[in-house]
Amino acid sequence: GQQLNQSPQSMFIQEGEDVSMNCTSSSIFNTWLWYKQEPGEGPVLLIALYKAGELTSNGRLTAQFGITRKDSFLNISASIPSDVGIYFCAGRLGAQKLVFGQGTRLTINP
């Protein structure tokens, strides 16, 4: 089936540092999404991207839809302790189905 390659798998950073993670696919997607999951909770949508080349921000978060439509990245600037969690990318195949990456686990040292 469809797979998304998300990297890195985990990150250990100092508070205040910037974070960058990305997803790549062998298939073209028409939508890229970024979710965050905290322990004991379901994923929460952070950013949705609908057009190739699109760059969208949500506070300290910025995400881009790759020109080839096969990749996307998420940046977090000036990380804070509440940014800790697992970040997932997801691509929308058709009208409804989402395919999720394996996640990037972010740990922040205060």
Q: Residue 110 Cβ, how far from another protein at the closest point, in Å?
A: 27
Per rule CB under 8 A, is residue 31 in the interface with another protein?
yes
Stretches 19-27, 64-72, 76-84, 90-98: which one binds another protein (CB under 8 A)?
90-98
Query: According to CB under 8 A, which residues from 37 to 56 bind another protein?
Result: 40-45, 48, 50
Q: Nearest-CA neighbor of 76 among 58, 91, 51, 90?
A: 58
Per rule CB under 8 A, is residue 96 in the interface with another protein?
yes
Rounded distance, CA 42 to CA 49, Å?
A: 20
Q: Closer to another protein by CB, 59 or 94: give it.
A: 94
Per rule CB under 8 A, is residue 98 in the interface with another protein?
yes
Q: Residue 58 Cβ, how far from another protein at the closest point, in Å?
A: 14
Rounded distance, CA 89 to CA 64, Å?
A: 11
Task: Map residue 81 onto helix, strand or coil.
Answer: helix
Dihedral sign (CA 19, 25, 49, 64):
positive
